[in-house]
Amino acid sequence: MFALLATRRFGPLFATQFLGAFNDNLFKTGLIFLVAFHLRAGDPVAAATLATVAAGVFIVPFVLFSGIAGEVADARDKAMIARGVKIAEIAFMALGALALAIESVPLALVVVFLMGAHSTIFGPVKYAILPQHLAPGELLAGTGLVEGATFVAILLGQIAGGLLPTGWVGPVAIAVALVGWLASRAIPTAPPASRVAIDWNPLTASRRALSEAFGHRELAIATLCISWFWALGAVYTSQFVPLARNDLGGSEGVATLFLAAFSIGVAIGSAGVGRLLGGRVSTRLSPWAGLVMALAGIDLWFAERALHGSAGDIATFLADPRGWRVLADLTILAIAGGIFSVPLYGILQTATDPASRSRAIAANNIVNAGFQVTAVLGIGVAISHGVSVPTALVGAGLTVVLLIPMLRKLPR
């Protein structure tokens, strides 16, 4: 599996997408730290609000432009699109460096929007290009590596954005974008299956993508289940800080440890599921993985109650066997999540005509964005009405039982 990383047909694409995801989170986190520790150091509410606004600004382009992104990726050479996106990223990061240097939050939010647009355009490319460059038996391995690396890149970008001095974030982001562009130049050509006119109207392009996806039973089920997984991930990651601080009595380092366990767990499950399935696109493990996620979430609820708010700092947390139980539950839940989701991406890649494959990925991205926003807002409302974070998390995880009947209708 990891031998794919050394091949030209996969390695450059892998590096390109990894560095892009890293840069997105490096810049967003650097902006949040600038506001929290410098511009609004005495106003934690403003800092928290900015974090929410930045997350919303980043996701808006996925809703607005995913349809067009799918149209473009189906009608043009995907390698050429990747290179164009990386050139744009260099310009965006240069603008972002300026925004951080002059401490302009509005300009920085514009850059966050532009980076969201960059990721929107690249999203259909990175998954739709894989069936063109990989053998059928390699597809799950390649998809798993891409998804797993995305979570690791998010984690590393957030950590780097918090650790680097604000003045370094911009130059580092520009350097990373340059390396990403160099990697993209080595991606082999990936011409479209057919030349078709591009619909540049975001509304009609999105409607076309969604109607095609939901007009096909397998694509519709895969899209809904993938979107549920990303929504659950958004709920968990958005609540790690309040969970660690308010419910477990832990430090910010403990919250970062939770994020690391979750990200690495998804990466392990994503990378390993291809081997478990023998390289065959099959969802036979997905219902079982969903049940494991639900059971791990339930045990996590009990493990959190057992700690009784005594997590402390990282050393204290890791010295307590009850802390290891929490970490184990999070990691198991995340590994099962990777096993759950990657075969569903395989369905998106193989159950549609090559000429419209990118639109299927684009439809998935639109629904993903809607699910994530709805889930995060919903969990926020529940918590504001007195539901504890652990209870809200276990409740969100148990919704997987609604998906199991649908999953059993997919290829096994």
Q: Which of 163, 142, 151 is nearest to 330 (CA)?
A: 151
Cβ(10)–Cβ(142) below 8 Å:
yes
Same domain, 171 and 217: no
Same domain, 186 and 81: yes
Query: In this structure, what are the phi and psi dihedrals at residue 42, rounded to the nearest 5 degrees?
Result: -95, 10
**Looking at residue 1, what is its pLDDT?**
62
Confidence of residue 43 (pLDDT cuts 50, 70, 90): low
Same domain, 154 and 261: no
Tens digits of residue pLDDT in 302-321: 998 888 778 788 998 899 89
Number of H helices, E strands in the chain: 16, 0
Same domain, 4 and 80: yes
pTM, whole model, 2 decimals? 0.88
- In 56-202, where do the E strands start and end? none
Average pLDDT over residues 328-335: 95
In a domain? residue 197:
no
Task: Please name the amino acid found at residue 370.
Answer: G
Same domain, 10 and 142: yes
In a domain? residue 103:
yes
Give the separation between CA 21 and CA 245, rounded to whole angstroms. 27
Domain that holds residue 213: 202-411
Task: Please name the amino acid found at residue 12.
Answer: P
Q: How many C-beta neighbours within 10 Å does residue 84 have?
A: 16
Q: Which of 392, 395, 410, 285 is nearest to 351 (CA)?
A: 410
Same domain, 239 and 366: yes
Confidence of residue 175 (pLDDT cuts 50, 70, 90): very high
Q: What is the CATH number of the domain that holds 340?
A: 1.20.1250.20
Burial of 343-368, coded b for 16+ CB within 10 Å and e otherwise, reads bbbbbbbebbeeebbbbbbbbbbbbb
The domain total for the chain is 2
Same domain, 366 and 393: yes
